Structure 1
Amino acid sequence: MDCRRRVPGVFALAGALLLYVLLALWVRRHPQSSCELALLRRLQTSIPPKIGHVLRWVSWLGFPPQSVLLPSAVIAAFWWRGQRTVALQLLSTWTASTVSFVTKRLIRRPRPNHPSIIVPVTQPRDASYPSGHVVTYTAFWLAALTAVAERVPWAWVRGLLLACAGLLVATVGLSRMYLGHHWLTDVLGGYLLGGSWYGLVRLLRCAGERAESCEA
């Protein structure tokens, strides 16, 4: 990948991060939105119970203790197998959760707490913006499943892993809203941060591989 082909990617990542910051500022000034409340209520009442049960399981990876233990185990497994570059790259994607934590501390947006909102799973006590689940799934788990898929010799398994990665990323935002844990803007902020962080790590990886090939 030459420099000219990387330029659009750099601008796209910078734009996503800028939107993330602007959305955070908007959320700080408008922590409660009647439009988002109406959307959240409509979503919760329109999803069938069976699909809702599946959505509850979608969020499972993002709750402690598995939210810490499983990523640590994946990184350790790659390190133990001698693929330390991959392990460090996955660790880099996981640091997006640190940015999410800092943002939560700065913005301090309350979780949805209207009496009409259904909360079937105990609501986390931290701040609402951004959705940490969405950040972690879009950054770390997308990178982890992609890394495993790239090293599997069977095409059907690769396709299955990539499909699982895409499905997790696509449904986690819906899951967080269905459980009444997040507003729509929390989810959007999570996708902006997680997606840009994932893209940044991949961009740096490609740049490093390009530099190594030039030196060789």
Structure 2
Amino acid sequence: MTGAPVRRRLLLAAAGLVGLAAALGADALSGGLVSRLDEPAKALGEQLRSPALTPAVRLLSDLGTTPYRALLAAAVAVPLALHRSTWRPLGYAALVVAAAPAVSATTKRLLERPRPPASEALEHPLDPSFPSGHATASAALAVALAVLAVTALRGSWARVAAVAAAAGFALVVGLTRIYLGAHWLTDVLGGWCTGAALALALAAATRPWLSPPGPPDASTSLDGSHAVKDA
């Protein structure tokens, strides 16, 4: 079985997420229905703040920065690349880590959405707000790690656990940005959609589930079939 059906599904999912991110951006700029949740979410984050919790939240938020994401990506991609004797998993992970900040920064400059008030925030970066860079980067990495885990793990429960852990990582990092007052809820939602779309599109481009040509049992493709050549 060739990779064409898999790539098509990945690209369709990425396109749908891009459309959703665009809709969220339009909603945020126009004060639409979803953005009405921004103020309640901000208020809830402020209510949850405490001297004991804030240091832990800051640490979790830092997991969305490039050094930590690079370490997490390498921890999964390097062993898989060595085991498969192919650059694809490592190249895919590196592209995701590098591209996510660029995509979020470019989108921010296009939309120029103001951040929540600095006087009420524990963290107030100076760049625009939509989409959240942390949410974009963490979602991109989470989807990338999920893709790599699905290709590497054979047991269904192991795959489910890996995907759930990756999703939890993105969820937590995104929510910390609301707690710290650095972003609105819609910024985080838009970031999750943007990051996930990027990782899916790059997966379709690099096909990290494929191994070099070899015996029929040398590798397993994303859809569960044996991949014996780069078709």
The superposition leaves residues 116-142 of structure 1 with CA deviations (integer Å, 9 ceiling, x where unpaired) of x3x23x321111000110111111355
Distance 2:146 2:208 in 1: 21
CA contact (8 A) 2:92 2:208 kept: no
Aligned length: 208
Larger CA deviation: 106-115 vs 47-56: 47-56
2:193 matched to which residue of 1?
192
Determine if the alignment matches structure 1 residue 88 to structure 2 residue 91: yes
SS at match of 2:22: helix
Q: CA deviation at 1:167?
A: 2.6
The answer to whether the 8 A contact 1:146-1:165 is kept is no
Q: CA deviation at 1:23?
A: 2.1
TM-score, with length taken from structure 2: 0.69
Classify 1:161/1:183 alpha carbon distance in 2 versus 1 (closer, same or farther; 3 Å): same
- 2:137 — aligned with what? 136
Give the letter aligned to residue 61 of structure 1: L
Report the alpha carbon displacement of residue 78 of structure 1 after superposing the two structures with TM.
3.5
Task: Flag the 1:114–1:215 CA change in 2: closer, same or farther, 3 A.
Answer: closer
SS at match of 2:70: helix
Match of 2:78 in 1: 78
Give CA-to-partner distance per residue, 1:98-117, whole Å, 9 cap, x none.
111110111111110075x3
Gaps of 5+ in 1: none
What is the aligned partner in structure 2 of residue 44 from structure 1? 46
Q: Which residue number in structure 2 is paired with residue 103 of structure 1?
A: 107
2:204 and 2:96 map into 1 onto residues whose CA distance is 12
Range with greater deviation from structure 2 (19-28 or 87-96): 19-28
Q: CA RMSD in A?
A: 4.0
Q: Which amino acid aligns with 1:90?
A: A
Q: Which runs of 5+ in 2 are unaligned?
A: 211-220, 222-226
* Counterpart residue number, 1:20: 21
The percentage of counterpart residues that share the same residue type is 27
Decide whether the 8 Å contact of 1:135 with 1:191 is kept in 2.
Answer: yes
Assess, with a 3 A threshold, how the Cα gap between structure 1 residues 35 and 150 changes in structure 2: closer, same or farther.
Answer: closer
Q: 2:116 aligns with which of 112, 116, 130?
A: 112
